Structure 1
Amino acid sequence: MPRVAGKEDSDKSSNLDVAIAGSTAGVISRFIIAPLDVVKIRLQLQHHARDASIPPTYRGMLHAMSTIAREEGITGLWKGNIPAELLYLTYGAAQFYTYRTTHVALSSTGILPRSAQDFVAGGAAGAVATFVTYPFDLLRTRFAAQGSGDLRIYTSLAHAIRTIYTTEGIPGYFRGVSAGVGQVVPYMGLFFTTYEPTRAFLTRHNEAGALSLSGYESALAGGFASTVAKTGVFPLDLIRKRLQVQGPTRDRYLQKDIEVYHGMRAIVQREGMRGLYRGLGVSLVKAAPSSAITMWCYEVVLRALQSAHGDSAR
């Protein structure tokens, strides 16, 4: 993520570069990992009762991916990509910008140690970005959960926006937002707290003594940090997804076993502790390369923008 090295990093032009680089990185990363995201959402929504005699619709990541491709076509793996791209476009800009400006403010006070600054700035960035972009996240989830052809609940992005407003009102766009913010604050805090020292360690051991042109330090650090953070907060992510498909269309999605949400305790009682980690495997498979791609793209784009400004200092 953006490094806070000195006073020159706080000017308006540099902040704009951060927002542009963050948006670009988010859009590229999203398109590449979209199929894994669709599979993760389907697995998270799938209900497994302890005594269930009927096998689940999807028996793991590869089975889910092949089933979706076979029954819904290859484009089924990119369902919800338009609202997801809008989500990642705005989320990337808000996240990177908030992280950077918060980190600059905290660094100027000198009150908190660096690791605490990383955690607080990361949590703030996640909270702001999640709330601002949450309607896109909800739309992405609902499109990924619905069927194709005559089984579609929403025929287009505009139709989805109108339908949710008509049947659920403004609160409908924010179903599960408290769980979303509650999940992303510790997630982003853990991510940045892990990412910054990992990237610094890799950079120190680079022969050039600085970030290489390939940006592999940022990619490796991003992948590792994402794995650590995602594992730590995954149950909250699962709860958010189940909340997002509640409402009047709950029984119209492909997976007919989506229950009325009753909270984390109900999931544990019905599905055991394992129920809180449905889709963790594919989530980690998605999260590590997604963060690696995001961080690499961010570094490359930011460096290109700064070179265009004639300023090589970060």
Structure 2
Amino acid sequence: MTAPDQIPGQEYDYEALPSNHGLGRNMMAGAFAGIAEHAVMYPVDLLKTRMQILHPTTGGLYTGLTNAFSTIYRIEGWRTLWKGVSSVIVGAGPAHAVYFGTYELVKELAGGNVDQGHHPLAAATSGAAATIASDALMNPFDVIKQRMQVHGSTHKTLMQCARSVYRNEGVHAFYVSYPTTLCMTVPFTATQFVAYESISKVMNPKEEYDPFTHCIAGGLAGAFAAGITTPLDVVKTLLQTRGLAENAEVRSARGLFNAAAIIKRQFGWSGFLRGMRPRIISTMPSTAICWTSYEMAKAYFKRQADR
């Protein structure tokens, strides 16, 4: 599929970052992609969080993904599946704007747009830099989101939850999981970007705007990266929801290694795989939506700039 408005016989260098294509437009495309991704896949993300809680209340104990969905829908109502979505909508726009803006900037500086060749190192470097920058902005919103997602949470709004966490646990609570988040998202993003660039090169060697390619490549890259980083995601969830835990040891979790030790001691190695299925199921379409939305917005802005 070729890009709309492409002049016959003219090469449409889609992936490269033209000199007349400002960073601001990449950031706008990233914001659009982030909001679209998180809003559409939010219910599955909520199920993942519920299933990763180590010591849930009686009403929050589930036997599987289908059971979790049906139980929440039957007992708490369908609106519960969207509880906390305001946090990711508010945070995802700016965070993804920084994410993709950093990605494009570092990719250009690292030589990822030099020619039509494959540049996995540039892709991994730009992906790692992008997640370090965006997670610094998104981490507090992620903490608020998961506090609102937990079964039995009394938090009703974004601001009420933020004030409660700050008043009871201090500003440290918003960033206690940041090192763990980076330990997970840096390899996740680096792996995802390398996989995405590699799959895209194979499926779309001409680097034309092709929504099908972007969707499939994004989904496969996200699923692979999600699977191998699930253990760190479980640790992150424990740290971000520790303030609501009923178990005293979990409430006292201090950081990455201490949280990992608690999981190993209480649940064994299988504890690190909690929520893997919903994580992959949610990540695969969410990264497909994210990349497709980003590339679509990016193509639109490039067409506008070329006119």
Per the shorter chain, which TM-score range? Answer: 0.7 to 0.9
Question: How far has the Cα of 1:306 moved from its partner?
Answer: 2.0
User: Which residue of the other structure, out of 142, 145, 155, is the alignment partner of 2:150?
Assistant: 145
Aligned to 1:29: 37
Separation of aligned partners in 1, 2:45 and 2:101: 25
Question: How far has the Cα of 1:109 moved from its partner?
Answer: 11
Question: How far has the Cα of 1:3 moved from its partner?
Answer: 7.0
Question: How far has the Cα of 1:258 moved from its partner?
Answer: 8.7
1:200-219 aligned within 5 A = 200-204=201-205, 209-213=206-210, 215-219=211-215
- Gapped regions of structure 1 (runs ≥ 5): 49-53
Question: Size of the alignment, in residue pairs?
Answer: 286
SS in 2 for 1:139: helix
* 1:24-45 deviation line (CA, Å, top 9, x unaligned): 1111121111110000000111
Aligned to 2:245: 250
If the length of structure 1 is used for normalisation, what is the TM-score?
Answer: 0.84
* 1:168-204 deviation line (CA, Å, top 9, x unaligned): 2211221211101111111111111111011111102
Aligned to 2:186: 185
Question: How far has the Cα of 1:217 moved from its partner?
Answer: 0.6
Gap change, CA 1:276 and 1:306, over 3 Å in 2: same
Q: CA RMSD in A?
A: 2.5
User: Which residue of the other structure, out of 107, 112, 123, is the alignment partner of 2:111?
Assistant: 107
1:70-89 aligned within 5 A = 70-89=74-93
Question: How far has the Cα of 1:246 moved from its partner?
Answer: 1.7
1:224-235 aligned within 5 A = 224-235=220-231
SS in 1 for 2:61: coil
User: Which residue of the other structure, out of 250, 260, 264, is the alignment partner of 1:264?
Assistant: 260
SS in 2 for 1:309: helix
- Gapped regions of structure 2 (runs ≥ 5): 1-12
Aligned to 2:270: 274
- Does the CA contact (< 8 Å) of 1:138 and 1:175 recur in 2? no
User: Which residue of the other structure, out of 125, 133, 150, is the alignment partner of 2:130?
Assistant: 125
* 1:55-99 deviation line (CA, Å, top 9, x unaligned): 981111110011111111101111110001122212211110111
* 1:260-304 deviation line (CA, Å, top 9, x unaligned): 334213312321211101000011011110011111111111112
SS in 2 for 1:218: helix
Gap change, CA 1:196 and 1:3, over 3 Å in 2: farther
If the length of structure 2 is used for normalisation, what is the TM-score?
Answer: 0.86
Aligned to 1:134: 139
1:105 partner letter:
L
Separation of aligned partners in 1, 2:248 and 2:48: 16
- Does the CA contact (< 8 Å) of 1:199 and 1:217 recur in 2? yes
